[in-house]
Amino acid sequence: MSRARRQILGTFLGSVLFLLFYLHYHANNDHHPLSQSTSSPIAAAQSDDNQSSNDLPKKESLWKQLPVRYPVLEVQQVPVKSRTFPKLQSTDHEIPKPALQHQMTRQAAVKERFERCWKSHQSHAWAADGLMPLSGLPTNDRGGWGARILESLDTLWIMEMYEEFEAAVTAVTQIDFDVTNAPELNTLDVNIRLLGGLLAAYDLSNDQRLLTKCVELGDMLYAAFDTPNRMPIIHWNSHKASRREEQLAEEKVLAAELGSFTLEFTRLSQITGDSKYFDAAQRVLDLFDRQYGSTKLPGLWSVYVNARAESFDGDEYAIGAMGNSFYKTLPQAYALNGGQMPVNRRMYERFTFAAAGHNLFRPMNPDEEDILLLGTVHAFVTQNGKPRTHLQSQVHYQSCFAGGLFALGGALFGLPAHKRIAHKLVDGCIWAHEAMSQGIMPKVFDAVPCASQLHCPWNEWHWKQEAWKKANSLKIEGISDMNIDTFIKDHHLPKGFIDIPDTISELRPEVIESIFVLYRVTGREDLLDKAWELFESLNNVSATKYGNAAIVDVTFESKAPILSDSIENFWMSETLRYFYLIFGASDQISLDDFVFNAAGHPLRRPRPS
């Protein structure tokens, strides 16, 4: 090719390239006067907003980007159909209008108490996890994400505090779950309290901003399941996980912690259409199901298990303080899954049968009330190789959830015997409250178990003898120089109580939770007055300038109460919510429309197909 032709071809190619560049530039930078005109300043602002939201890349969660080390080969799909269930809430009673007005007055008093606590938190600890009720100082012991706001979202909506709800949601949208000040997270607490709160608030309000945060937090928790056997890490170092360091399930963990992801992960899969969350939780539940028959007390799972080795051969069996969050989810999971997962019902029926035969006991009491309490069972094997069990009649406040559990299961599965047990369990915990001088049950106490649940006459001499034996077994200083009557008086033991190893009241929700569920299921009207008496007892003793505080010693009589400069968020997010609901209309958060998770957050049940 001649030099002249090469020059002509080069000029032509240069012109083509320049033309292409010119067209590309003006296609992306068109400043035609019509494109600048808008009908109003509002339209201009909307145009800017649209450009910023559509053109700028959205931040993707760290946990969404993190590669999965142990991927799931086949994801179990979340059930999409739902059967028709029997009505759980009683329709046999109708409260007269004067009585209904009386209950509305009580409900207003509960709301006023919540509002006072909420305003204190707004003023003194808005972005913090909690507020110290005596000093008014903020606390950050739940990841630093503003746990109290997250846990109270659904309560704000239920109590129709919509302006406060909007402010709270706005604050929640600013949370970055990729960042935490906690060296270690308890994934169970994050799941049932924070994710549960977000899910419930979304189910109630349908606010899409909350759905976004649900997914962000759900993806973070899902990363804790990335272990060789897909068992979740409960005491989780999220910082190491974010650096893609090796994760192994723990060798000693509470079974309740391991198995309490079902409701939240199922609901998250239902509302997102992504079954990975359901699959993760169901794998754990399937492991529990496979362990049936291999434990020392078939039907129950030991308090502590080895999640790494998948070993459940412990000696201690309790469904109260260290097991309630798992056991209470089983009938709820059956309802939430639309009755499509028979394993939930099978596990419920097995464990309640075992618990009724081993953990439930009738306490001897001066009025000879036919009541039940829940203890802990130790299983062992004798030298002759025979299995044996021993009941420890120590009652934990958290075990009082069982009344509501049996009431719900009895109604859901058509088991009348479970409803009868529910009445006795609820009455047992009410008795424990009323027996104390201030009407407030301590965190832990010991009672005298009756030899028979059918006949149990009061025997004062036997009660004192058991109290004396307990005192000597504890080797209390000076006990040898003290007579039993002096010991009982000095230790403020009501009749029927033989020891109170933990006198604190944390204003926990389990008793009012069971009263609420039993009332909704049976319509038993005296429970309304019992609930009000309990609310007044708790509030009158614990109220402070900044809200309510834990009571250090509920056995005090004439002296002023000693309060702790601490209060758990469940006082506002659970205890007060159950008080509010029991005094409201029966269709307000109906048990036929919602299930309550282990932290009291209502999750919407799918409608029958």
pLDDT per residue over 256-311, tens digit each? 999 999 999 999 999 999 999 999 999 999 999 999 888 999 999 999 999 999 99
Please compute the mean of the pLDDT values over residues 405-421 and round it to a whole number: 97
Q: Among 286-290, 349-353, 463-467, 487-491, which stretch is predicted with the lowest mean pLDDT? A: 487-491
Closest CA to 319 of 90, 598, 535, 1: 598
Q: What is the pLDDT of residue 480?
A: 67
In a domain, 409, yes or no: yes
Total domain count for the chain? 1
For residue 374, list its beta bridge partners.
360
Q: Which stretch of DSSP H or E encloses residue 119?
A: helix 97-124
d(C-alpha 40, C-alpha 62), whole Å = 40
Give yes or no for a contact between 380 and 315, defined as CB atoms under 8 angstroms apart.
yes
Closest CA to 359 of 449, 479, 484, 478: 449
pLDDT band at 559 (very low <50, low <70, confident <90, very high): confident
| Dihedral (CA of 484, 489, 495, 501) sign | negative
In a domain, 47, yes or no: no
Give the domain extent around 160: 98-604
In a domain, 87, yes or no: no
Residue 53 has pLDDT above 70, yes or no: no
- Of the chain, the percentage scoring pLDDT greater than 70 comes to 89
Give yes or no for a contact between 507 and 76, defined as CB atoms under 8 angstroms apart.
no
Q: What is the pLDDT of residue 332?
A: 97
Hey, what's the torsion of the CAs at 276, 277, 283, 284, to 10 degrees? 160
Most confidently predicted of 86-95, 316-325, 481-490, 527-536: 527-536
pLDDT band at 58 (very low <50, low <70, confident <90, very high): low
Q: What is the pLDDT of residue 94?
A: 65
In a domain, 73, yes or no: no
Q: How far, in Å, are 104, 189, 542 from residue 579 at the CA level?
A: 11, 22, 16
Q: What is the pLDDT of residue 134?
A: 97
pLDDT band at 62 (very low <50, low <70, confident <90, very high): confident
Closest CA to 497 of 385, 394, 374: 394
Closest CA to 534 of 41, 110, 3: 110
Q: What is the pLDDT of residue 403?
A: 98
| Greatest extent of the chain over all pairs of C-alpha atoms, in Å | 125
Q: Six-digit token pair at 203?
A: 């189910």
**Residue 102 is part of a domain; what is its CATH number?**
1.50.10.10
Residue 315 has pLDDT above 80, yes or no: yes
One-letter amino acid identity for 337?
A: N
The pairing of strands 253-254 and 304-305 is: antiparallel
In a domain, 37, yes or no: no
Please compute the mean of the pLDDT values over residues 30-58 and round it to a whole number: 33
For residue 449, list its beta bridge partners.
363
Q: What is the pLDDT of residue 243?
A: 92
Q: Among 55-64, 88-97, 491-500, 555-564, which stretch is predicted with the lowest mean pLDDT? A: 55-64
C-alpha gyration radius of the chain: 29
Average pLDDT, the chain: 89
Q: Which residue has the tokens 């903020």?
A: 138
Long-range contacts of 137-141 (CB under 8 A, 24+ apart): 139/566, 140/181, 141/182
Q: What is the pLDDT of residues 100-159, one digit of tens each?
A: 888 999 999 999 999 999 999 999 999 999 999 999 999 998 889 999 999 999 999 999
Q: Six-digit token pair at 173?
A: 């949208």
Q: What is the pLDDT of residue 214?
A: 98
In a domain, 39, yes or no: no
In a domain, 445, yes or no: yes
Closest CA to 208 of 271, 153, 278, 261: 271
In a domain, 334, yes or no: yes
